[in-house]
Amino acid sequence: MSLLSGPPTARHILTYAEDLRGGGVERAQLRLARGWLAAGRRVTLAIEDIAGPLAAELPEGLEIIAPSRLLALPGVVRRLSPDIIFCPGNFYTGIAAWTRLRLGKACPPIVAKMSNAPARADHGRLMHAAHQVWLARHRSFLDHLVAMTPATAEAAARATQMVGRTSVIPNPPAVAIPGALPDLPARFILGVGRLEPQKRWDRLIAALPLLADRTIPLVVLGEGSERGAIEAQILALGLGNRVRLLGHSTDPLPVMARAKVVVLTSDYEGVPGVLREALSVGTPVVSTDSSAAVAEIIDRPDRGTIVARDDAAGLIAALDAWLAPSAPRSEPVPQPGADSAERYLALFDQLVRR
């Protein structure tokens, strides 16, 4: 049954991004845009740099506007008069605040998605306090907030003081994209994500020499600014023959299906899609407690193990357990979010009617 009632009022949706380098926020944004376009809505993406691995995933019919800087977004909104603005993640809420400030009452409703946890492990005490003050200001420039699980929605609503203006809508699920598989070992550990400080790949690489199986390789799908530091760590530990950095993957699902275990060692996350994607193909997962959502996803011991962020011994023990010959595969867990694009449209229409 359709969630939409009456004629659409959010006929034109404007969203924005910095680039298409391959982050989960932008990937989910493009999946949503594809669904909105399929529903007959007009969707415009304002983006500084259209280049990047995700360019191959741009949906047909998406209108592209390329301002030199996202600070020019208020002018784009004045010119195009969209019905609603979608802010795809925490990183972009500053632009939402700027747009509301410049346009005032002429600004259309702004809906933002909470893509990261309100409390970040990489923040010291002063940065944490400043971040909480910033989050509390969100209620003044956002009309509605979307989180991806109940636990993250509760935390986000409290932090932003937007209780009553927060909804739970998961990201759209990953879909298989036809393509050739890379050359893979017979058995391997898999990491999927950007090569950025947040992901803390150093934890996983440091664990490799200490595993019971001293030969099993690690495959990492992703690209980013930390590649040089990661390569230096691999060299220093003498792991050049055990770690393969394969770069960005358009479709990691087939590689996940071949892996013995998928590992996420981040300091902080929002709702890590990589865990849901791995479980959807029956591959167990090991993750740090980087978000309240992790325990919602790894909700049974046959699906994976959660370890504390700085518990190196716990990470090694979890990996040894899942790499043991007797370790079972988990039953595939269907990804949520098949109707996410439609649920967003129902929310957009409701806000525009008001």
Neighbours of 198 (CB within 10 A): 17
The DSSP secondary-structure symbol of 46 reads E
Q: Do 104 and 224 belong together in one domain?
A: no
The reply to whether 330 falls in a domain is no
Q: Are residues 112 and 23 in the same domain?
A: yes
Average pLDDT over residues 127-135: 92
Q: Is residue 116 part of a domain?
A: yes
Give the count of domains, the chain: 2
Which CATH number do you get for residue 343? 3.40.50.2000
Per-residue confidence at 175, pLDDT binned at 50, 70, 90?
Answer: confident
**pLDDT score of 180 more than 90:** no
Q: For residue range 272-298, list pLDDT tens digits in order.
A: 999 999 999 999 999 999 999 999 999
> Which residue segment(s) compose the domain that 50 sits in?
12-173+337-353
| Same-domain check for residues 37 and 119 | yes
Span 65-84, mean pLDDT? 95
Amino acid at 279: L
CA 169 – CA 146 distance, rounded (Å): 6
Q: Using alpha carbons only, how large is the chain's radius of gyration in Å?
A: 21
Q: Are residues 46 and 101 in the same domain?
A: yes
- Binned at pLDDT 50, 70 and 90, residue 238 comes out as very high
Say if residue 131 is in the same domain as residue 155. Answer: yes
Residue 184 is assigned to a structural domain of this protein: no
Both 268 and 349 in one domain: the answer is no
Residues 220, 119 share a domain:
no
* pTM of the predicted model over 0.85: yes
Question: Which pLDDT value is given to residue 353?
Answer: 93
4 falls within a domain: no
Residue 97 domain flag = yes
Residue 52 phi, psi (nearest 5): 135, 165
Residue 6: inside a domain: no
Same domain, 150 and 73: yes
pLDDT value of residue 5: 64
Whether 263 shows a pLDDT value over 70: the answer reads: yes
Q: Which amino acid is at 202?
A: D
- Regarding whether 271 and 132 lie in a shared domain, the answer is no
Whether the Cβ atoms of residue 98 and residue 73 lie closer than 8 Å to each other:
yes
Is there a single domain that holds both residue 343 and residue 273? no
Kindly state whether residues 94 and 220 are assigned to the same domain.
no
Clarify whether residues 272 and 147 are in a common domain.
Answer: no
